Structures are given as structure tokens and as C-alpha cells.
A and B are shown apart, each in its own frame.
Chain A
Amino acid sequence: MTLPLTRRQLLQTSACGFGSLALAGLCAREAAAEGSSAAKATSQPLDPRSPHFAPRAKRVIFLFMMGGPSHVDTFDFKPELQKRDGQDMPGGVPEAQKSAGRQLRKLMASPFRWQQHGQSGLWASELFPHVAEHMDDLCVINSMHTEGFDHANATLKLHTGAVSLTRPSLGSWVVYGLGSHNDSLPGFITICPDRGRGTRNHSNAFLPSVYQGLAIGHDGVPAREATIRHLANARLSPTVQRRQLEYLRQLNREHRARTADDDQLDGLIRSYELAFRMQREAPRHLDLSDETPHTLAMYGIDERPTDDFGRQCLMARRFAEAGVRFIQVTHTIRRHFPGVANWDQHNDLVRDLPRNCRAVDRPIAALLADLKQRGMLDDTLVIWGGEFGRTPVAEHRSKAVGRDHNPLGYTMWLAGGGVRAGHVHGATDAFGYRATEDRVYMHDLHATVLHLLGLDHERLTYRYAGRDFRLTDVYGRVVKGILA
């Protein structure tokens, strides 16, 4: 065989054998980044890969507001709804919505004050005063629509494009498509994910498992305690573990030498090396103590109610800096407010929605400002939203009034990485119930996110069980109107 050396040959010929593996891995990574032919010979699943075309964004931070934030109380201002408080909604609600057995009555005006902001004059309610200062950076999609009247279906739709089948998550597809720029961290990290609905939201499904989202903490633990499982050994001192590692490497080296050249075994030994690096490097990214007091304050860390989400957002920025491709940050607040399940305001919207917003508003604004001041907003795509929005009609479960799930029309917003800033795309009907203008279906959003990353959603396929699968199934079109 001609040059370049494969990893295998390097191992066989190198005097230091195993020790040079990590080096070989690094070389391959750099070579791949430059698109050199050496990359092919040594390509690994997490090596950076060239996108299909020039990307506008290099990484994604997805701020997931679990439960379905009310768009008609936050970013989708509906004058007609404000006027017709207490009246019937023309056309009523469809059977699928009614069959959940809910008491849906009259239109309910948003009880919050609304204002236009910035040069662009985008609307935001008083619930997001800090984010509102960044309206000129946002691209607000008011015409989202999706599938599923219940959380389970719609949440999976948002994360995987499918409502009930186990399919790879958006983040897994992205890392599958692009690889990673960090040698000591996975390419897809999810910070404090919800465990109530299992791991499907960050599952690689049938993609190779190196593409699964690595969870840092989960919704049951405070963000300050969130960490990577098994990252440290609770029993052994660093000295002892270093000695242990030396012996472990010796054993693996001898095993390798006794066994005929075997790709599986090579992969296994390589993964140990990454684990060693992760163990060494990851704590550094998780530890916020080297941030300035100013930064901590900006994110609202060490203050109620912003401490948790502030930490999550700051961690996200640090991982973004470290080269992680796809970072999801989930906001649920059930541990602080028992009985209030995240953003699912079926009742007492007036009390609970502001609580949610207060917990995330400053941290999100800080993240946007922080990315911007570091010059990272240009190539970082920030996505904000939930699995659906909420109905303009009131729901009466108790005396306190709320709004029901609404997948037919709602809002998500994007910022940074190649999207039109200070722009509103699409619209719902007069009341905010159905998306009517320039409708963006979930598959379209997925297609657009991939597009911004330089990936063609129709070409990003994976062969499984005899078929080629896509994130967007057979649908999806890039929403040209939101591209900068």
C-alpha cells in the first residue's frame, strides 16, 4: 500500500506503538479539516467533514422551552385577539383538539403589555424585557406549525421529525453530517435534558452511537450539580488513577500485539484514549469558576430565579467555544415550582408564564450578548422555542385560566448564523391560532437549520434496514425568506 500510512500501519511500524495513537488521531483530524486525501485513509466518525456547500453557521445552540410557550403572550402580537377578548373564535377548534376532552371556551386576550423594539420594530411582550433588547438580532418565525396535540408526539417531532417512531435527533444528524472540532468532547451535548420523556430526544436511534447526545445533568438536578456521568473516579486519588491508567495501557498494548489486526479492537483502544482526554479536559469546560464576576452576573448566576438556566446558557457558550457542534439547553422548572410543569400553562397562565420567562429572559439575553461580543454570533445559530404554542382561546381547568396546546400555529425564533436579523417571517391568523402566511412546518425548519450548516437535507441520508433515512423524511424545504 502506498502512503499515507493508515492508522494500522502506523501502529505496526511505530516504535512507541500505542502511545502514538492519539497523535495519529490528531493528525487525521487536522488532515481531515484541511480536506487532504490523508483524511480518507484514516477517517473516523467524529472527524470534521466538509459540508455539502459553504455553511453560514458552524454550530447550533438550541434553547428548548419544554411544554409549549404561549406565542400569543410572548412574541406574536395579535391586536384582533386583544379586541375580541371573551368572544367566540370564528371557525372554532378542530375535532382533534377537542377530543382531548378540554374545556375550550372564548378568546382570551393576552393579559400582558406589548411593545415594539429596536430599529426593526419587532413586537415582544413585557415578559421578555432583556431578550427584547436583542430584537434586532432575532428572526422571529410566527408561522410555525407542527404535528401532535400532545407533548410526547410534538416533542419528538421537534427533536427528530417523527412523532412516534424512534428516529435520530437533529443534533445527531448534524454531527453525523459535520463531525466535530473537538478531540476530547462528543459533538452533541445536551444540558439538563428532560428525562420524563426518555432519551429519545437526544437519541442517535439507528445512527452510530458516537452521534448520540451526551447528557450533562438532567431536569431533576440543579444546573450547578450537572456533570458528565462517570467523569471522575470517586475512590481513587489522581496519582493512583494515573498509575492505573499506565497499567491499563500496558494491558491493552499487549492485547493488541497478541491479536491480529482488528478494526474493532483498534476502535476500542482509540475510544479509551478519547475517554482519557475527556476525563482530563471536560471538567475544565464544566467549571465556571474562571468566568469573571461580570459574566456570571450578566447570566444571572447565583441569583434566583436565573441561576439554573444562566449556568446552562453559560455552559453552552463554553462548549460552543470548545468546538462542540450541537448544544441543546432545556428549560424545565418543575423542581422549583411543584405543580408547574415547565411551559405547559393550562391554568394560571398569568402567574406561571411570567415565572418561566423570568427564569430564562436574562440568561438568554446574556448568551446572545456574550456570543456577539466574542464574535461568535455570526457563525452560531441560536434556536428558541418549544414543541408547540398555545391556543388563543382560554382553557378552564380550574378557576385559574390558561391556554391549551396549539401545534397549528406558533412562534420559534432564530438568531445568529446566517439568518435575517430583525425580521419577522410568516404570520398566524388574526387570533394566533393557525399559521396562515408563509407557513413553516417542522420539517421546513429542520431543512433550514441543516441548510444554514451547509447541509442539504435531501442528501444527508443514512442507510438503515435497507432504506435511506433523512431527518426530514420526504418533506421539508429550506425557508429562503429567513436566510440573511
Chain B
Amino acid sequence: MRAVPPRAFPVCLVPPRHCLMLRFLLAKLVMVTLMGACSLGALVARADDSEPNASRDQADKSHDAAELAFFERRIRPVLVERCYECHSAAAQQAGKLKGELLLDSRPGVLQGGPSGPAVVPGDVEASLLLSAIRHEDLEMPPDGRLDADVISAFETWIRRGAFDPRAEAAGVVQVDARAPIDFAEARKFWAFQPPRKSSPPQVANTSWPRSDIDRFLLARLEAVGLEPVGDADRHTLLRRVTFDLTGLPPTPEAIESYLADHSDEAWSRVVDRLLASPEFGERWGRHWLDVARYADSNGGGVNIAFDNAWRYRDYVIAAINADKPYDRFLREQLAGDLLPYDSPQQQAEQIVATGFLMVGNKPLGKYDKEALVLDVADEQIDLVGRALMGLTLGCARCHDHMFDPVPMADYYALAGIFASTHSVIKKKVISGIPHVRLPLDERNASWYEARKEQIGQAFAQAAADIEHPHDEAIRIRGQLAARGQVVPRGFLQVARFAGQPDIPNDESGRRQLAEWLTDPAHPLTARVMVNRVWHHLFGRGLVATVDNFGARGQRPSHPRLLDHLAIEFREDNWSLKRLIRRLVHTRAYRLASTGEAELLTRGRALDPDNALLWRARGRRLDVEAMRDSILAISDRLDRTRGGPTLTFSGRYEFSNSTRRLKVPDPSRRRGVYLPIVRDHLDMVPSLDILEVFDFANPSFVTGRRNATIVPTQALYLMNSEFVTEQAEHAARRLLRATSGQSDRERVARFFLTALTRPPSATEVDGALELLQDVRAAADVSEAEAGEGPDLAAWTVLCQTIFASSEFVFLN
């Protein structure tokens, strides 16, 4: 009988290889019984011919004799004296065996404990015994360190092949340390239960809800004795929905037309216009690119350019604008190269979609090919886990997941799929990344020919199956050399359902993985996506940990509502636009962020985090919205859509080439089109704004960005060249558009343009005073632009508005 470690162990860390869980297993596991005794001192010829040192000719015999002498003189006495007490068959019989590790036979040493082999002949660094006696990992022996010369003798012994005459296993300890996961039990966890339909609850205040979604929300509020605050005013609402759907502020014309529209359809008209605008895809495409950890370069020490990644970015934006059903969207991104197509364009599009798997950070500095393949597969497994299912699968690389029901076998079943996919090819190839030539028909062939100079060859950074797909072996403790059982390619057992696809021998399994994920029976895919959408519209997901639906994530605040949304999403042909429309049509979306003092006091007392949504949640604008707005208000925004992002000067090579990246002047395009040089967001000086304002770190799946508030942000808004320059453009534009108007009218116009509301009387007075003082103080240097002190004064005013807390804060 084996002990099962407690599930609530406090610390676990992702790779590299070891974590507290393992140390815990190694140290605490109880023994199993075995029989036999060790045979000391006997030199027994090794029977295993596959051993490299097992040849039996004369020369080797004399070699063996030398090795034997070394072993008997330097190694065995130490093992006997310092190790056997806890790591021998005798210890086992006495009930004193520790760590399931036997050191009194060669097989025992080679098999090692649950963490892997104690000794890897020839490889000192991979030999856990060495790291234990060096006190690097475990500290063995526990009663005092071995002398340095003893340790060095062990190093020598291992380096020379770890000759060991103690042939017969006294007994072999079972490696599998943990009780198998009880999947029936595990499936009872909410996230692994299929979403359940439930009818919307009854509410007391029947006049408040506008939809079933509102009923779910209001019922919870009523249950705890809360009520929602009032609706937001129309200015606030229009600003909110315009930013949320397009990442830009409403224009004065849009404000005017919405305010003038008193019909019942006014809101629908606004929402439908925004959903149909191309800016919608740019905004929501960027949300997806955060999740897809998109970047235009590899990052790290070998920061090569992904010079075709932009095609994937453009694919995402186009798919979202076309409202491509989400299940289709996923299938194309995971296995577009394997799907049928009607035209070369469609084929090309689908190939490009697999860029999803390819644009991550790859450890290209690694020397070991196999390690590289598995590390890249690890990155892709992490992506698929977090992005699509809200699960941290990476944990299961070295041991069964400690918190979620994901055994190592599931991890390596997925690893087989990705190891059977071309992701990195040998060094010194273009960017080290496979580039798939896109299919051309006559039409797009001439299109590409015409633009070849501009966009390069029609290659995509895309996935393809390798020639001979294969299954992967479990790597004990995540260590490359410690191969365990080979597991067939497959999916997660906890989400297994009847009729799930089988993976044929000659395919990687990506297509089947995509089918499995988008099957209506999959418990997570739809839930995770509707929750992401909810997060962007309401400032916090129903599951607040949007990338973690596992045991360590938060529980849903409204589980029935989440299920309702997930089922509706799926049954509505996975339409993202219609999902968003349903959400912004709720009354909850249109709440004010403030209200009567009594309501606020009660709300703060009963639900300080506003998890139940009794009011709207204020948010700092994300960096693209902030930057794009400043450009838009200054009439400087370059709305060119799509196309290549960065080029490469000099030849491609396998080295740190960050400094040779050439970036076309991106300073005026929308944020989604800016070049993302992983780990060097600030490489283009004008783009330092990305780092200052928490752009999603492209090394992580980011469903929820940081919204930090640090003083360098205020410094940026007050002093950066970017903001001051745009402020001057904004001032010019304002003066042009309002010629003949009074200063008072101009101030009002700018408030409306920048903040979507008219100014208060005191704000106007303050602005007029500021203008006057700046005009008076303006010296030649400020007036040199030619327009004199007036432009200087309006520039200061515009910049002050850009720097104000209200400009960067969405209410």
C-alpha cells in the first residue's frame, strides 16, 4: 500500500525538472516489499550485451579489472558504510528502507528511486546520487557530508562508466510512486463536469433585468441583500462600449448621433455599427493574440525574427471580423494544414492559422536536439492547456499534476502529438523555424509577385506533421535520459468522452486534438472562451483566474450563468460577435460605477470586490487603447490594415540577432500592428510605451493583463516625446476645426473629443487660466513652430488632458 501525498501541498513550481513535490515523494514514500539479498564482493560477468561496456574480450577484461579495483577500493566501502543502512535489501527487511532506493546492487543503482536513476553511467551531472552527495539537491548522507575526495572518487567512477560488479538485483522497487488518479472522482470537480442547462432564476425585482443573463446576476445580488446601482449616463455608456468593442473613443459625430437618437433601437444601432467595423477585429484580435503569446521574434538569447508571423496576426484579425465560428477558428489554428480546402486561398489561410503553435518562445540556445523538441512541445502543451482549457498542463512534465487530475501519461500523450509536428528544424536554417511555402493560384501568385520586394516570399511560419509521427516516452522526473513507458498519443483522460476521435498511426494527432477540444462534450473549451469575453467586457471573469480553471484557480462566481453562456455560445454556432452582442445588451453591462451613498456602503460591506457585479468596474485603459486614442484624437492615426511588421537586415543566422532587426516606422499605426520584439519591446524607442503600460508579456499566455500603476507611467504621459508631439497635433487640429470659435467653445470641443463629455464650469475656468498663463509665459522656443503662443498654450492644455487620470481610466 502506498501513501498518497496530500493534495494541498503548498509549493509547486513549473520546470525545470524538479519541484518540491518530487522531493517530497523521494523523501517520504513508504517502501514496498521485496526479497533477496545482495551478493557482496562477487564479480559476476554482466549478461546484458546491450550495455556498452559489456564486451567480453581480453582487453576489456583487463580494463574491467582496473575498474573493479577502483570500485572495491574507493566506492564500495563508502556505499556499505554510509548508504546501506537505509538503501539496501537488508534495510528493507528491517523496515528501514528510505526513498525506495536500493544502492546495494547495480540494477538498484541504475533504476534509482521515484526520481529517476541514481547513477547515469558516464554522465556525472545527470546522476542524482552525485547531486545528493554534493548536497545540491538532497543532502545525503544525512548524518554528515562525505569528504571532498570521496565525492570526487564518485565523480570519477561515474564518468568512467560506473563499473559495478554487484550484478543481481536484490530486489526491484516499483517506481510508480503515486496511487493512480481516480478519474471518476476527479470528474466531479466543477470544471470537468459538462456544462448544465438551467432555467434562469426567479427574481424579486422583475423590472430590472433585460435578459436571462441579468436574471442570473440579479438573483445572486438579491440573495445576499444587494441591489445594483443605477444605469450609467449615455456619455459614459457610449465611451465604454466604443472602447470595449473597438479600442478607440467615440468621435464627436458618433456622440452627437447617439445622443440625438431617442428610439429604443439607439443602443442596438451603436452596438451593431461597432461590431461591424474593422476596428472590432483589431481590438478583439489583439485579445486573442495575448492568449496566443504572439510576437514577431523568438526572444531570449537567440532572438531571431519571425518574419512571417504577421500573417498569423492578420489571419486572427480577419477571422474575428468575419465572425468565424470559434470551433472552426480553433481547428484551423491547431491543424489547419491537415484540413480539407476548396481553394488555394483557403488552404493558405488554414496553413497560416497554425502559426498559433509556432509564434512562441523557443529555447533555441539549446544544444541537444531531443531536449529542444521536448521543450518546444512543452511550450505548445502549456499553450493549449492554458489558452484553450484553462489548465496548467506543464506541471505534469515531471510528475503527475499535484492539484489537477493530469497524470504524466496524459502529458506525454500530448507531447507525442507535438513532437510529431515540425516546430523547429536544424540550426542555421532560416530563423530555425519551419517555413511553409504557401500554395499559389494564378491570382494570388501575381499578387505575391507584385509585392515580393515588399513582403518577401510567400512563406508562412506554420506547422506540419513530421514524416513518421511517433509516440513519446514518459521522462521520469522530466529528465531526458530517463525514459519510462511509451504512451500512445492522445488527450486528457479526465475529459474523455464517448466517441472521441482516435489518432491514426500516420498522423501527428493535431487534427484529432482539435476535434476533441471542439466537441460539444468537451467540458472546458466553451466555458473558457465565454469567460475570456466576459472578462474583457466586465473587467473580471466569472472565473477570475481566466487562464486557470483547475483546482488552484478560482471558482466561478456564477457557475450556472457560466454554463448558460457556454451552452448558448456553442448552440449559437460558436459566434463570438453574437455572444458579445448578448453581453453588452444586458442591463448589467450598462450599470454606473457609482451610485447612492447608501447602496455603495452596503455594496462595499457585503461584496467589496464587486464579484457579484452590483456596479460597473473601472479599469485603466490598456496600452493600445491609450496610444491609439491619443493618435486618433490628434488625427494622426494611420489606419493601414495588416501587412508585414518587421524585416531583417543582414543574413539570417543562428545567433543573437536582435540588433539587426529592422522595424519600419510604426509610430502611427494601431497598436495591434506594432512589431513585437519579444524581450525587447522597447527596441523601437517610440514603442517604449508598450513596456511602460503593461503590454502582455509575449512569453506567457495572457488572458488577463496586468494593470499596474507605477510612476513611470505618469512620467511618460507628462514628458514623453510621443505624448507631447501628439498634443501639438491635437492642438493644431482643434484650432483648425474651431476657427472663429471662442476659447470656451474650444475647450468644450476638446473635452468632448478626448473624454466624451462636456467640461464642468470649473474645468473650463481652470483651462482658460492655464491657457492665459502659458501664453504669457511662452518664450520664443515654444513659439518657434510659427503659430505662436496660442499653439503652445493649446498644446499644453491638450497634453494635460491626455495625462489626466480620466483619460486613461475607463469608467
Interface string of B765-780 (1 = CB under 8 A from A): 0110110011001110
Q: Residue B441 at the A interface, CB < 8 A?
A: no
Chain A residues near B773 (CB-CB < 8 A): 240, 243
Task: Name B's interface SS.
Answer: loop
Chain A residues near B803 (CB-CB < 8 A): 248
Interface string of B148-183 (1 = CB under 8 A from A): 100110001001000000000000000000000000
Q: Residue A466 at the B interface, CB < 8 A?
A: yes
Q: Residue A288 at the B interface, CB < 8 A?
A: no
**Is the pair B700, A254 in contact by a Cβ cutoff of 8 Å?**
no
Q: Residue B206 at the A interface, CB < 8 A?
A: no
Interface string of B611-625 (1 = CB under 8 A from A): 000010011100000
Please name the residue on chain B nearest to A477 by beta carbon: B135
Q: Residue A214 at the B interface, CB < 8 A?
A: yes
Given contacts A244-B799, A259-B593, A264-B707, contact A164 B691 (CB under 8 A): no
* CB proximity to B under 8 Å, residues A306-330: none
Q: Residue A189 at the B interface, CB < 8 A?
A: no
**Is the pair A230, B700 in contact by a Cβ cutoff of 8 Å?**
no
> B762: which of A164, A196, A254 is its contact (CB, 8 Å)?
A254
Pick out which of these stretches binds chain B: A103-111, A115-123, A132-140, A274-282: A274-282
Q: Residue A441 at the B interface, CB < 8 A?
A: yes
**Is the pair B299, A198 in contact by a Cβ cutoff of 8 Å?**
yes
Q: Residue B557 at the A interface, CB < 8 A?
A: no
Q: Residue A200 at the B interface, CB < 8 A?
A: yes
Q: Residue A381 at the B interface, CB < 8 A?
A: no
Q: Residue A54 at the B interface, CB < 8 A?
A: no
Please name the residue on chain B nearest to A252 by beta carbon: B805
Chain B residues near A221 (CB-CB < 8 A): none
**Is the pair A439, B806 in contact by a Cβ cutoff of 8 Å?**
no
Chain B residues near A268 (CB-CB < 8 A): 620, 709, 805, 808-809
Chain A residues near B520 (CB-CB < 8 A): none
Please name the residue on chain A nearest to B797 by beta carbon: A247
Please name the residue on chain B nearest to A441 by beta carbon: B136
Q: Residue B535 at the A interface, CB < 8 A?
A: no
Chain B residues near A271 (CB-CB < 8 A): 709-711, 713-714
Given contacts A259-B594, A474-B18, contact A466 B715 (CB under 8 A): no
B398 to chain A, nearest CB (A): 11
* CB proximity to A under 8 Å, residues B22-39: 23
Q: Residue B782 at the A interface, CB < 8 A?
A: yes
Q: Residue A94 at the B interface, CB < 8 A?
A: yes
A5 to chain B, nearest CB (A): 16
Pick out which of these stretches binds chain A: B278-286, B630-638, B719-727: B719-727
**Is the pair A278, B711 in contact by a Cβ cutoff of 8 Å?**
yes
**Is the pair A251, B552 in contact by a Cβ cutoff of 8 Å?**
no
A65 to chain B, nearest CB (A): 18
Q: Residue B658 at the A interface, CB < 8 A?
A: yes
**Is the pair A166, B699 in contact by a Cβ cutoff of 8 Å?**
yes
Pick out which of these stretches binds chain A: B5-13, B187-195, B217-225, B448-456: B5-13
User: Number of A residues contacting the other chain (C-beta, 8 Å)?
Assistant: 88
Given contacts A166-B699, A256-B805, contact A474 B13 (CB under 8 A): yes
Given contacts A150-B365, A247-B800, contact A468 B718 (CB under 8 A): no
**Is the pair B770, A198 in contact by a Cβ cutoff of 8 Å?**
no
Chain A residues near B499 (CB-CB < 8 A): none
Please name the residue on chain A nearest to B145 by beta carbon: A438
> B20: which of A99, A237, A474 is its contact (CB, 8 Å)?
A474
> B724: which of A229, A233, A245 is its contact (CB, 8 Å)?
A233
Q: Residue A153 at the B interface, CB < 8 A?
A: yes
A168 to chain B, nearest CB (A): 12
**Is the pair B800, A474 in contact by a Cβ cutoff of 8 Å?**
no
**Is the pair A214, B712 in contact by a Cβ cutoff of 8 Å?**
yes
Q: Residue A3 at the B interface, CB < 8 A?
A: no
A234 to chain B, nearest CB (A): 7
Q: Residue B14 at the A interface, CB < 8 A?
A: yes
* CB proximity to A under 8 Å, residues B541-573: 545, 547-548, 550-553
* CB proximity to B under 8 Å, residues A33-88: none
Interface string of A181-213 (1 = CB under 8 A from B): 000001000000001111110000110111010
Given contacts A164-B363, A250-B766, A264-B620, contact A272 B805 (CB under 8 A): yes
Q: Residue B501 at the A interface, CB < 8 A?
A: no
**Is the pair B10, A468 in contact by a Cβ cutoff of 8 Å?**
yes
Interface string of B682-723 (1 = CB under 8 A from A): 110000100100100101100000111111111110111100
Q: Residue B392 at the A interface, CB < 8 A?
A: yes
A461 to chain B, nearest CB (A): 7
Q: Residue A339 at the B interface, CB < 8 A?
A: no
Interface centre among B303, B615, B710 (most CB of A within 10 A): B710
Chain B residues near A437 (CB-CB < 8 A): 148
Q: Residue A397 at the B interface, CB < 8 A?
A: no
Q: Residue B604 at the A interface, CB < 8 A?
A: yes
Chain B residues near A276 (CB-CB < 8 A): 714
Q: Residue A469 at the B interface, CB < 8 A?
A: yes
Given contacts A240-B796, A259-B811, contact A230 B712 (CB under 8 A): yes
**Is the pair A467, B712 in contact by a Cβ cutoff of 8 Å?**
no
Q: Residue A15 at the B interface, CB < 8 A?
A: no
Cα distance A210–B708 in the bound complex, in angstroms:
8
Chain A residues near B124 (CB-CB < 8 A): 94
Q: Residue B804 at the A interface, CB < 8 A?
A: yes
**Is the pair B804, A233 in contact by a Cβ cutoff of 8 Å?**
no
Please name the residue on chain A nearest to B20 by beta carbon: A474
Q: Residue A27 at the B interface, CB < 8 A?
A: no
Cα distance A461–B800 in the bound complex, in angstroms:
40
Q: Residue A163 at the B interface, CB < 8 A?
A: yes
Q: Residue A465 at the B interface, CB < 8 A?
A: yes
**Is the pair A275, B718 in contact by a Cβ cutoff of 8 Å?**
yes
B405 to chain A, nearest CB (A): 14
A145 to chain B, nearest CB (A): 9
Given contacts A230-B715, A437-B148, contact A166 B700 (CB under 8 A): yes
> B697: which of A166, A235, A260 is its contact (CB, 8 Å)?
A166
> B779: which of A149, A163, A210, A237 is its contact (CB, 8 Å)?
A237
Q: Residue A162 at the B interface, CB < 8 A?
A: yes
Given contacts A255-B809, A261-B600, A475-B137, contact A200 B16 (CB under 8 A): no
A408 to chain B, nearest CB (A): 9
Chain B residues near A232 (CB-CB < 8 A): 719
Please name the residue on chain B nearest to A100 by beta carbon: B367
Q: Residue B125 at the A interface, CB < 8 A?
A: yes
Please name the residue on chain A nearest to B403 by beta carbon: A466
B144 to chain A, nearest CB (A): 14
Cα distance A415–B124 in the bound complex, in angstroms:
33
Please name the residue on chain A nearest to B303 by beta carbon: A198
**Is the pair A269, B779 in contact by a Cβ cutoff of 8 Å?**
no
Interface string of A452-484 (1 = CB under 8 A from B): 000000000100011111100111010000000
> B14: which of A151, A163, A165, A260 is its contact (CB, 8 Å)?
A165
**Is the pair B367, A96 in contact by a Cβ cutoff of 8 Å?**
yes
Chain A residues near B15 (CB-CB < 8 A): 165
Q: Residue B763 at the A interface, CB < 8 A?
A: yes
Q: Residue A292 at the B interface, CB < 8 A?
A: no
Cα distance A475–B767 in the bound complex, in angstroms:
59
Cα distance A228–B15 in the bound complex, in angstroms:
35
Chain A residues near B513 (CB-CB < 8 A): none
> B365: which of A153, A241, A264 is its contact (CB, 8 Å)?
A153
B237 to chain A, nearest CB (A): 15
**Is the pair A467, B14 in contact by a Cβ cutoff of 8 Å?**
yes
Given contacts A152-B301, A209-B706, contact A91 B159 (CB under 8 A): yes
Cα distance A252–B805 in the bound complex, in angstroms:
6
Q: Residue A26 at the B interface, CB < 8 A?
A: no
Cα distance A236–B728 in the bound complex, in angstroms:
12
* CB proximity to B under 8 Å, residues A151-170: 151-153, 162-166
Known: A166-B697, A254-B763, A436-B152. 4 other contacts (CB 8 A): A152-B656, A255-B806, A271-B710, A465-B547
Closest 6 CB pairs of A and B: A152-B301, A466-B552, A198-B679, A260-B594, A275-B714, A209-B708
12 contacts between A and B (CB under 8 A): A164-B363, A166-B700, A229-B720, A236-B782, A243-B773, A247-B800, A261-B604, A264-B809, A278-B715, A439-B136, A466-B403, A467-B14
